[in-house]
Amino acid sequence: MSHHTITAALPYANGPIHLGHIAGVYLPADIYARYLRLKNKDVVFVCGSDEHGVPITLKAKKENKTPQEVVDYYHQHNQKALQDFGISFDIFFRTSDPRHHQTAQAFFRRLYTQEKLTVQENEQFFDEEKQQFLADRYIQGACPYCHYPKAYGDQCESCGKSLQPQELVAPKSMLSGAKPVMKSTRHAYLPLDQYQDFFQEWILAREKNWKKNVYGQCKSWINAGLSPRAITRDLDWGVSVNIDGDVKKVLYVWFDAPIGYISATQVWAAAQGKKWQDYWQRDAKLVHFIGKDNIVFHCIIFPAMLKAHGDYVLPTHVPANEFLNLEGKKISTSQNWAVWLADYLQNFPHQQDVLRYVLCANAPETKDNDFTWKDFQAKNNHELLATLGNFVHRTFTLLHRHFSGEVPVPAVLMARDKEILLQCKKMPKKVGEAIEKYQFREGISYIMSLAHLGNKYLADTTPWQILAKDKKQAGNILYICVQIIHYIAILSAPFLPDTSQKLKKILNCDTSWLSLENDALIPGGTLLNKHDILFSSISNEMITHMIQLLGDS
């Protein structure tokens, strides 16, 4: 049996998780992982906190804390929010863990000793007062383009231009305020140029299978020509490595973070009594869920690292999403133009599935998409509540009121009833194929189409009107409605796990996805449990309140 390794981009441990992260990465990854488990596949779903790099040290400096204190807080905060939301990671690891350092160092050593890396000398800014080389973000000066006085060494936040530190006018160190000097330093490089021919062939072979946005970005990078990329830097926070006897180097965060997927798998496998190699070597299927800003790292740089090492499989698929905007504007964490996951969970307790539904139905799968609170309200009130919830409520109310809560034993089914069962029986294949193509919006639309089908069937047949004169026929109608709900209960499990569980409990069923594919039905005579309301109305006042929370605070 093949093994499935699903990775979700490691959230950076210098801030909380927002809805853009959920829509772009964690929800689609969770839907895919849950589906594979329902199909009895051998799956490991890994994630964790990305805890190294300059933004962590900047945050620590700003808050007068150590980098470890910063990552400890955000690791715990994000892990709890994702767990409370129901993202079903098998392990949520962290890159500050010593076991990750060991894995990343061993990975680096193998490449270094086998001469898969090059060592180059160049000049970088150095703070003589602090006796420290300066990362780009630790240098400020005037932008040479718009003259903004506080541009960073890698980018001007006023005009958005990418910069080199040497381009800044009157640069100064953010550590001491002193003018930095240029000083020679040696670093290890990953010679991506040596993999140019390989990637041209490898990426080309994925044109038909990979998403257009992913393939297009990769092709653009390759056509521009790959060049060596530094994988070490002079910093005191990160995974330390030895270059020609210099032990004061650390790995760039983009190099050590994806190795975190491997570290996490190793720790998980050891705890489960499994072989981690089964999930990264041999016949493993590796799928990376990321946002579009991470495409080059997961489709070119990390595969180059894995190929250079030689023992690992390359990704089977990288179904990257575009970005989710918020109320027509780009999400901005610095301006608090974001909806934080922890805040949502506090404001909408026990309504995880509402957000899962809205974000999946609006998923930025092929282009940037927009989240608005008014649309969130409409999708809850008109689709989940008025369509799905209403259909389920009317069916079960009639059954408890007129059939003692028992599923009626069907008499001879009419052609119309058989046609509805036929439509239901096609759904496991349709939903499964959509998920396997990473088209989750399409998958959830099939489930909602079943709710629409049930509502229309009820409206057309009006069993409440014929109960007195023809209880047998009314029983047939409600039997068919129960079967529609049964399909919704099983097929919604990857998308709306809480709703699925509630429906299965009411139906008293333990049907699996596989048995549903073999046309399993709820038998007549099954005693139903009491039902609660699945969804509740969201008021205008609540939506106004959520909109008012946006922006500077």
Which CATH number fits the domain that encloses residue 174?
A: 2.170.220.10
Work out the pLDDT band at 61, boundaries 50, 70, 90.
confident
What value does the mean pLDDT take over residues 513-519? 93
Provide the sign of the torsion angle of the four alpha carbons 119, 125, 128, 129, taken in this order. negative
Q: At what angle do helices 440-461 and 352-361 cross, to 10 degrees?
A: 110
Q: What is the pLDDT of residue 303?
A: 97
Amino acid found at 534: L
Distances (CA, A) of 86 to 63, 81, 288, 345: 31, 9, 19, 11
166, 138: one domain: yes
| 197 and 77 together in one domain | yes
Structural domain of residue 460, as residue ranges?
377-517
Provide the domain count of the chain: 3
Confidence of residue 283 (pLDDT cuts 50, 70, 90): confident
Instruction: Report the percent of the chain where pLDDT is more than 70.
Output: 99
Judge whether 449 lies within some domain: yes
Pick the last residue of a domain from 300, 321, 342: 321
Distance CA 246, CA 403 (A): 80
Q: What is the domain-level CATH number for residue 35?
A: 3.40.50.620
pLDDT band at residue 43 using 50, 70 and 90 as cut-offs: very high
Out of 321, 346, 368, pick the residue that ends a domain.
Answer: 321
Question: The domain that contains 511 carries what CATH number?
Answer: 1.10.730.10
Confirm whether 402 is domain-assigned: yes
Q: Is residue 328 part of a domain?
A: no
Give the tens place of pLDDT for each residue, 23-40.
Answer: 999 999 999 999 999 999
Can you give the pLDDT at residue 206?
93
Which amino acid makes up residue 427? M
Show the tokens assigned to 530.
Answer: 């009491």
Give a yes or no: residue 361 inside a domain: no
Q: Assess whether 93 and 239 both reside in one domain.
A: yes
Same domain, 505 and 422: yes
Of 155-159, 209-213, 329-333, 352-356, which has the strongest mean pLDDT? 352-356
Whether pLDDT at 232 is above 90 = yes
Backbone angles phi, psi at 148, to 5 degrees: -60, 130
Alpha carbon separation from 204 to 32, 198, 209, 301, 306 (Å, rounded): 25, 10, 10, 16, 19
For the stretch 408-415, contacts whose Cβ atoms lie closer than 8 Å and that sit 24 or more positions apart, written own/partner, are 408/475, 408/476, 408/478, 408/479, 408/524, 409/475, 409/479, 409/524, 409/525, 410/475, 410/476, 410/479, 410/480, 410/524, 411/472, 411/473, 411/475, 411/476, 413/476, 413/480, 414/476
pLDDT for residue 235: 84
Is 475 in contact with 466 (CB distance < 8 Å)? no
Give yes or no for residue 160 having a pLDDT over 90.
Answer: no
User: What's the pLDDT tens digit per position in 321-351?
Assistant: 999 999 999 998 888 899 999 999 999 999 9
408 shares a domain with 271: no
What's the rounded Cα separation, in Å, for the pair 153 and 141?
8
Query: What's the pLDDT at 161?
Result: 81
Asked whether residue 345 is domain-assigned, the answer is no
DSSP string, 244-296: TTEEEEEE-HHHHHHHHHHHHHHHHHHHHT--GGGGTSTT-EEEEE-BGGGHH
If asked whether residues 112 and 167 sit together in one domain, one would say no
Last residue of a domain, one of 189, 205, 225: 189
* Per-residue model confidence (pLDDT) at position 227: 94
Average pLDDT over residues 121-133: 88
If one counts every other C-beta atom within 10 angstroms of the C-beta of residue 141, the result is 23
pLDDT at 159 over 90: no
Q: Are 446 and 430 in contact (CB under 8 A)?
A: yes
Same-domain status, 46 and 126: no
Closest C-alpha to 536, from 341, 349, 346: 349
Give the C-alpha separation, 28 to 360, whole Å: 8
User: Do 103 and 136 fall into the same domain?
Assistant: no
Per-residue model confidence as pLDDT tens digits over 172-205: 998 899 999 999 999 999 999 999 999 999 999 9
For residue 536, is it within any domain?
no
Could you say which DSSP state residue 11 is in?
P
Angle between helices 253-272 and 98-113 (to 10 degrees): 120
* Least confidently predicted of 85-99, 210-224, 245-259, 395-409: 245-259
Kindly tell me if the per-residue pLDDT of 359 is higher than 70. Answer: yes
Q: d(Cα 441, Cα 449) in Å, to the nearest integer?
A: 12
Instruction: With a cut of 80, say whether residue 434 has pLDDT above it.
Output: yes
Mean per-residue pLDDT, 230-235: 90
- Among the listed residues 381, 384, 324, 387, the one whose alpha carbon sits nearest the alpha carbon of residue 353: 384
Please say if the pLDDT value at position 552 is more than 80. no
- Measure the CA–CA gap between 147 and 143, rounded to whole angstroms: 4
Name which residue leads in pLDDT, 449 or 283: 449
- Asked if residue 210 and residue 86 are part of one domain, the reply reads yes
Report the chain's mean pLDDT, rounded to a whole number. Answer: 94
Q: Residues with Cβ < 8 Å from 519, sequence gap 6 or more?
A: 425
What lies within 8 Å, CB to CB, of 56 at 6+ separation is: 12, 13, 14, 67, 70, 71, 237
CB-based contact 200:191 (threshold 8 Å): no
| 152 & 256 share domain | no
Length of the chain: 553
In this structure, the answer to whether residues 106 and 217 fall within a common structural domain is yes
Per-residue pLDDT band for 295 (boundaries 50, 70, 90) equals very high
CA–CA separation, 264 vs 100, rounded Å?
8
**Within a domain: residue 346?**
no
Same domain? For 107 and 243 the reply is: yes
pLDDT at 553: 52
Average pLDDT (241-270) is 92
Structure token digits, residue 285: 């299927």
Rounded (5°) CA angle 473-479-483? 150
Asked whether residue 308 is assigned to any structural domain, the reply reads yes
Query: What is the pLDDT at residue 162?
Result: 78
- pLDDT band for position 132 (50/70/90)? confident
* Core vs surface per residue 186-208: b (16+ CB within 10 A) or e: ebbbbbbeebeeebeebbeebee
The angle at the Cα of 177, spanning 50 to 65, to the nearest 5 degrees, equals 35
pLDDT band at 464 (very low <50, low <70, confident <90, very high): very high
